[in-house]
Structure 1
């Protein structure tokens, strides 16, 4: 038995043997002998599908959505796992005051018009289900949605009195979830958080557009001014309603509070996926920003619970058909960190070059690997990163990522893959299908913004087991020792995503600094004990508890 295995055996068996039941109930550091994250039947691999937002924003309609769904089926994307077809903001008309029921904007979803009856999405979801797909819908945790603050030009905003325009979940959680899943037949829900963030009494928007003033629970600029327990409790109420109305467990809860309220620490306990950052935009530096917000969180993601750096922006801006290197990098990175893969493009107009990216079965396979292990950063810098992901078949996936604007040389070592020195390592390039073999180390020249992705096979360093940092999906950080959540300073600081450079600059405020890390300390330093360095290990703070 190795020292690692021996220590793990002693530590785990000792904790289970000597922690009295009463102590386990009161002491968060006491061993419980159980895996505390809910064992969910859905999202055992990251959800895949299509979302309307980046393609159409609020100007979505039934023809556009079903057109995308048909392409997904006919092109073979659905056979690869692209299953969910998700309507984002823009579908609702009003909340009827007589009984609180939501009404659908039937002008853009004509199948929802039912003569002599309430509007219903049932015909629409039945159509998707008949195609072998699943249906997703959008709402907000508060009274009002994001479009009512940020898309005021939209023709598809909720209409009517102040109360009729309050189409969010606040005060209607059980009613709305029952409607969406029980009556209308949806399978997935994205729950935004603008309703508890932007409609404060001091915001002129609230007065000018006659919204109910709601003191913000989230302050995106200051974690210490965010009511973390209250935000968690609101999403917990939604999770409970979903469980009541879906006894078979066939649903997805996507938490969309943009990395705020320390969701990094509790998202896995409440939802199937949680946003780790603000919205993505079709720019390289914003993609870096969103990627960084999730890439160091491998120990917080696992089957049934995934970090979500936002939907894909492939097909737009710096990821369009004229920027295929950037588009492939975007897709490769999301696949390597087990991000949900949600296309957001008008698929009716998609060129084959983009379809080939979304349809790369080998890259999709890495994302959907049954092991559920998010890739771990094996080499970290602001210029180049090497990300290694353990696969269920015992092989490794490795991405070599050039973040910069210049050509660069990247050396890959067997040690970074946790393979033995002196033994051959076989590489298969998953973009061009070429093969190579090396011993100890090999080098590659990467073009600006290029990402190379390989499947690697070789003799393991640890012949009779795996290091815990190789299998983050099998490690639950039940308690991570963070006393006061702090913003993560290693997230890329891009210019304002919406084009202006007012103020003193963009400062990411996503908490997670000090959280548990694979192969690094909680504060992004090399692992060292008593002056001795270690390439492999779990970095945790005092007063942490891991479940394995």
Structure 2
């Protein structure tokens, strides 16, 4: 997919790409060849903050803020409308003449295409939402399947109901029946005509592999480049299947805590540390399946509104660091119209964004209670290493030997949160971290420096004999 960006954003993207080239690694299955999501998606999604009350005005306001804040210029270009765009009655989803969900025009008076056009006019990409199956109302009315002689009753398996989080009342589709693929095709064609660039299909489990295959085929048939995302808490036993059919897959349930004061737990806080920290184990387990064209999605990035999201500043940096190390999509879930200055500095740190966009999912190399270390090697021979104290009380000294990361000797170290060059450090690295704090470093093995020095026109970076704990990372 070619992202439409401002000149500034294009230059920034090129700089990131030049600094952190993609690395190809072996995977248990080939990635989807639909040509989308060569790097993890970046942008904003409506679910965390807007939740069940999306409107045309709210989505436009967030798109405006994405541009005005400068986040777009750092690569955050996706604007995703999640669930609750549809209209329901007592029998489930209201449907159009061809059995597809009808838009709630009270929320979206201009329709979805008009909203998509607005998002595109800002140089952004538009994302949308659906779940597997066919609506009960379509079957009850026996609506025709567009472009065919078949009808809803010809393809519905009314003995089974699909998972749906909104209007419910969704039947399974029997893909052995003629007209089933054509029904999904008609829906995909409609979405493409509305200008959808990214489609999230939610409520997916192992039983929905036929639906995922059908949607993959249908999206390709539209001729429009559409990134295909799966959600949520997908079983790892089918990881190779998800990787072959889609561009990302949610590895766990929602990151939201649903502990706010509003209806259905909406409002602040959006999340808490327990919902973020449980992602560490999932990221470690799913690590082998990520790579260009297909990513392990750790869910929304809850950074943007300061402490009220439910995380301290240290925890928010750790949140971002883990997502970046895992090469997860970076889809903000916060209210961008009230962007916190501390969080804006986090989100516009191109060194962190570059770690996410390098196309490499890190491995966990130290797992000792609250002390964790993750590492990945990039194509230029440099390593990115993250040290975490995932605890909620007490400082912890976290250490890593360079041999654990993948090389021996000394390494030239740069702190990626602060940008400070720490010099050459021999053998190992340690940091004393506050509860929930992280240290993220880029390390160039000294042997690489020596090789560079031997080449004409190459200079060796300044060195230091200092070792041990690096100074505390300053707050941006």
TM-score (normalizing by structure 1): 0.63
Closer/same/farther in 2, CA of residues 56 and 169 from structure 1, 3 Å limit: farther
- How many positions carry a matched residue from both structures? 371
State the shift of 1:295 in Å. Answer: 2.4
Please say if 1:258 is aligned against 2:233: yes
What pairs with 1:66-105 in structure 2 (closer than 5 Å)?
A: 66-93=60-87, 94-96=93-95, 98-105=97-104
In structure 2, the partner of 1:442 is 429
Change (3 A) 1:413 1:447: same
Q: Relative to structure 1, is the Cα distance of residues 103 and 322 closer, same or farther in structure 2, using a 3 angstrom cutoff?
A: closer
Cα distance in 2, alignment partners of residues 400 and 289 from structure 1: 16
Q: 1:341 to 1:71 in 2, by over 3 A?
A: same
Does the alignment pair 1:38 with 2:32?
A: yes
Preserved contact between residue 306 and residue 340 of structure 2 (Cα < 8 Å): no
For residue 108 of structure 2, what is the aligned residue in structure 1? 109
Output one character per residue of 1:194-245: Cα deviation in whole Å (capped at 9) or x when no partner: 7xxxxxxxxxxxxxxxxxxxxxxx5xxxxxxxxx3x4222211111111111
Deviation string 1:489-546 (CA, Å, 9 cap, x unpaired) is xxxxxxxxxxxxxxxxxxxxxxxxxxxxxxxxxxxxxxxxxxxxxxxxxxxxxxxxxx
| Structure 1 position 315, deviation (Å) | 4.8
- Equivalent residue for 1:184? 194
> Cα gap change, 1:244/1:169 in structure 2, threshold over 3 Å: closer, same or farther?
farther
Alignment of 1:186-201 (within 5 A): 186-193=196-203
Taking the TM superposition and a 5 Å limit, the aligned residue runs for 1:375-524 are 375-404=362-391, 405-421=393-409, 424-436=410-422, 437-459=424-446
Normalised TM-score (structure 2): 0.72
On the 8 A contact 1:143/1:169 being kept in 2, the answer is: yes
The worse-fitting range, judged by mean Cα deviation, of 70-79 and 100-109 is 100-109
Pair 460,233 (structure 1): closer, same or farther in 2 beyond 3 Å: farther
- Is this contact kept in 1: 2:131–2:201, CA < 8 A? yes
Structure 2 counterpart SS, 1:265: helix
- Report SS of the residue matched to 2:110: helix
In structure 1, how many angstroms separate the alpha carbons of the residues matched to 2:394 and 2:99? 57
Query: Counterparts of 1:155-234 in structure 2 under 5 Å?
Result: 172-181=183-192, 183-193=193-203, 228=206, 230-234=207-211
What residue ranges of structure 1 are gaps of 5+ in the alignment? 1-33, 113-120, 151-156, 195-217, 219-227, 465-548
Contact between 1:296 and 1:376, CA under 8 Å: does it hold in 2? Answer: no
CA–CA separation in structure 1 for the residues paired with 2:417 and 2:98: 54
Q: 2:356 aligns with which of 361, 367, 373?
A: 367
Of 123, 131, 142, the residue aligned with 1:132 is: 123
Aligned to 2:212: 235
C-alpha separation in 2, matches of 1:458 and 1:379? 20
Corresponding residue SS for 1:90:
coil
- Quick one: structure 1 residues 147 and 239, their matched pair in 2 at CA, closer, same or farther if it must change by over 3 Å? closer
Equivalent position SS for 1:64: helix
SS at match of 1:380: strand
Query: Does the residue aligned with 1:103 lie in a helix, a strand or coil?
Result: coil
Report how far residue 169 of structure 1 moved. Answer: 8.3
Root-mean-square deviation over aligned CA pairs: 2.9
Aligned to 2:254: 279
Query: How many Å separate the matches in 1 of 2:273 and 2:283?
Result: 16
Cα distance per residue 1:356-399 (max 9 Å; x no partner): 22221110011011xx2101112122221111122233211110
Indicate if the aligned counterparts of 1:173 and 1:241 stay in contact, CA closer than 8 A. Answer: yes
Ranked by relative contact order (alpha carbons within 8 Å, sequence separation 6 or more), the top structure is 2
Task: Quickly say closer, same or farther: Cα 1:136–1:169, change in 2 above 3 A.
Answer: farther
Mapping for residues 292-371 of structure 1, pairs under 5 Å: 292-315=281-304, 320=309, 323-369=312-358
- Tell me the CA shift for residue 449 of structure 1: 0.8
1:107 deviates by 1.6
Query: Partner of 2:233: helix, strand, or coil?
Result: coil
Please say if residues 52 and 87 of structure 1, whose CA atoms lie closer than 8 Å, have aligned partners that are also in contact: yes
